[in-house]
Chain A
Amino acid sequence: MKRTTSIFVVLVLMFVSFALGISDARAEEVKMVGTISKIELAADGKAATAILKDTKSGESVTIIVTDELTLDKFKDKRIVEGDEIRCKFEKEGDKNNSKLFRKTAGC
C-alpha cells in the first residue's frame, strides 16, 4: 500500500511539474557553418571564446568552447582565425555553449 501511494505521489508531482514547465528547461540546439574571426583563450586555458561569422547569414556568433580536444587545437594553432568550422552549440540564456567544433576541410 505504501509503495502504491509513493508511486502515485511521484506521478502527480511529475505531472504538475511538466504542466508548469518546471522540468523542461531544455537548451535550444543550433547548428551553423562559419569562419572564425577571433579566438580568445581564458587565462587558465580551460575555456575559450570563438567568434564565428555565419556563412549563410553573415552574422557574428560568439561560441564558448570547453572541450579539451578543441582547446588543444586552439593552443597549438591547429584551429586558427580564418578556418571554416562546422559548429553545433546550445543556447543557454545569453551563452552559446559549443557541442561540436570541427574544421570543415578534408584533405
Chain B
Amino acid sequence: MRKIGISVIVAALSTLSVISTVQAATDHATLVKGPFKSGEQVTKVCLECHSKQAGDFMRTTHWTWKGTPNHIKGMENDTKEYGKANMTNAVCTSIEGGPDGVVHEQCGKCHAGYGWTRTNFDFSDKGKVDCLVCHAQKGNYSRAIGSTVDYKAMEKGIMNLDLAAQSVTAPTRKNCGYCHFYGGGGDAVKSPGLDSTLEKTTKKLDVHMGTKVSGGNDMSCQACHTTQEHKIAGASSMTAHYDARVRCEDCHSGSKAPHQKSKNGALISRHAASVACQTCHIPFYARSQATRMSWLWSEAGKDLKSEEQFDKETYEKKMGRFTWGMNEKPVYAWYNGKIERYMKGQVIKDPSKPVVVTKPAGNIRDATAKIYPYKLFSGDLPMDSKYKYLNITQQYKSFWVDFNWDKALQGGALGSGLPYSGSYQFVKTQSYFSINHEVAPREEALQCGECHLGEARMDWKALGYKGDPMQSGGRFSKNNLKKAVKR
C-alpha cells in the first residue's frame, strides 16, 4: 500500500514537472539567429513554427481594427464590420483621411503589422504580422511612421532587432503599454488610469498591477484580459466589437467572493445588483499622472500660448487646446454592457447640443444595468454645415503641414468616402470613457457616507432616482418596483 502511495506521488511529480517544462517560456535565443534587417525577416522565421498562431492573430481586432458591432446598442446583429478602421472619435478622430488613406502611415505605428500605409493592405498575408511588438522583451523594439520597425533607431544603435527577436515571451505590460498607454496620441491622454506608470506601479495606485515589493499582485495584463487563440478579452468604451469580456467576478467569486469578512458584507453585496465593483473601488482616477479631460480641435492651427497643467502642455498647434485632470472624481452612468455610439455619417439633429460620441447604454429601469464610473471627456469637432455630420479630417500630411481646415476636410472626404460640402462649423462633443484600472486598496474604497446622506458624489436624480436611495429606496425595493411597473 505504502509502495503504491509513493508511486502515485512520484508519478504526480513527474507529470507536474513535464507540465511546467512545457509551460515555461521557450528560450528563443538558440532558435532565432539573425541577423535581421527588417521586421518581415523576423516574422518569416516566426512563421516556421507559429504559422497557426499568425492565422489566429489575423482573425482578431488587433489585426483587422474592426469587427461585428456586438458592443453597440441596436447594431448587435449587424454583419458589417466596424472599428478603429472605419469609425470616428473625438480624440485622434479617424484613420481614414487623405487620398488612398495616407494617414495610415501615421496611425499604423500602432498596428501590429508591417506596411499598412494605404487602403490596399493585404490583410491575408501572414508575413506582414508584427510578432515583436507584442512579444519582444529586449533590444528596445520600436515602430515608426510608415507602419514599420524604427529603422532610424536601428541605425543609431538604440534598437537591436536580433536581440528583440531572440527575447520573445508572453506579452508583458511593457508590450501592451507600447500602444495602450499612449492612446489618444500621448501618455495618459485617453483611457483614464491607463498610462505608462502602470509598467511599474505600487499597490497604493493599483492593487492588481502594483509590484510585489509594494504589496501588490504584480499581475500581467492578460491575467484579466484573458486570451484564447490570440483573441484578447476586453471591451473599450469606444469600440464596436469585443471578442470576450473582462469581469471582476471572473476572479472575485465563489470562495473568493468579496465582502465575506466585511462587517456589513451582506449590505455591501446587495449593492452589487446595481453598482459595479469599479464604482466603489476606483474612487478617483488619473492618480499617477494627469489625463486629458477636454480637447478643442477648433483651436488647432493657431499661434496660441501653452500653459502647464499638472506638468502637461495645454496647447499644441497641431492638436488644439486641452485641459488635464489628476485625482479626478468620476462621473457615474448606467451601463448594461452596450454602448450608444456615434457612427460615421450619422446626421446630427441638434448641433447646438453636444454630440455624444460614445456613451454607456442602460438606465435605472434596466435590471441588467449597473452604475459604473466614467471619465467625461468633452471637446469639439468639425461638422459639415450642409450634411450635418461629423467630417473626417486629414491631419497627417495635410492639416499638420499647412493648418488649413478646408483642405484637411477635403482630404478627409477623399479617404473616408464621406463627402464634404465645402462648409463646416465646430460642434461640441462628449465621450464617456470607462474607468477600470487603478483599483485602490480596500481601505480607500468608498464608504457609505461618501455617496449617501447628502454627499454630492452621486447625482441620484440624474441617475433616475427620486433622491438618495438610502432614503427613498433602491430601484428593487417593493414600492419602487410597483411604480416602475406602472410606468
Name A's B-contacting residues (CB within 8 A).
31, 68-69, 72, 76-78, 80, 86, 88, 100, 102, 106-107
Contact = CB atoms under 8 A, between A and B. Distances in A.
Given A31-B311, A106-B185, A76 B140 contact: yes
A88 B311 contact: yes
A68 B110 CA distance: 26
Interface stretch (B193-201, B295-303, B420-428): B193-201
- The DSSP consensus for interface residues of chain A is mixed
Contacts of A86: 311
A107 B138 CA distance: 21
A77 B140 contact: yes
A21 to B, nearest CB: 29
Given A69-B196, A80-B158, A86-B311, A107 B186 contact: yes
A87 B182 CA distance: 19
Given A80-B158, A86-B311, 5 more contacts: A69-B199, A69-B200, A78-B142, A100-B311, A102-B196
- The winner among A31, A69, A100 for most chain B CB atoms within 10 A is A69
Interface string B165-195: 0000000000000000010011101000000
Nearest to A68: B200
B311 to A, nearest CB: 6
Highest count of chain A CB atoms <10 Å: which of B106, B109, B158, B308: B158
A31 B182 contact: no
Contacts of B158: 77, 80
B159 interface: yes
Contacts of A88: 311
B185 A69 contact: no
Interface in B150-174: 156, 158-159
A78 B311 CA distance: 21
Interface in B448-479: none
Given A68-B200, A69-B199, A106 B186 contact: yes
Interface residues of B, number: 20
B182 A78 contact: no
A72 B159 contact: no
Most chain B beta-carbon contacts within 10 A, residue among A68, A69, A76: A76
Contacts of B109: 107
Nearest to B201: A69
A59 to B, nearest CB: 20
A88 B200 CA distance: 19
A68, A86, A102: residue with the most chain B Cβ atoms closer than 10 Å: A102
B186 A31 contact: no
Interface in B80-133: 106, 109-110
A102 B186 CA distance: 11
A78 B308 contact: no
11 contacts: A69-B200, A72-B199, A78-B140, A86-B311, A102-B187, A106-B182, A106-B189, A107-B109, A107-B110, A107-B182, A107-B185
Report, nearest first, the 4 A-B pairs whose CB atoms are least far apart: A106-B186, A77-B140, A69-B200, A106-B185
A80 B199 CA distance: 19
A63 to B, nearest CB: 15
Contact of B308 (A31, A68, A77): A31
A71 B182 CA distance: 20
Nearest to A80: B158
B140 A72 contact: no
A31 B307 CA distance: 13
Contacts of A102: 187, 196, 311
A107 B319 CA distance: 12
A80 to B, nearest CB: 5
Contacts of A68: 200
Nearest to A88: B311
B326 to A, nearest CB: 12
B160 to A, nearest CB: 9
A45 to B, nearest CB: 14
Contacts of A80: 156, 158
A72 B200 contact: yes
Given A106-B185, A107-B185, A77 B159 contact: yes
Contacts of B182: 106-107
A21 B409 CA distance: 62
A90 B211 CA distance: 25
A68 B199 CA distance: 10
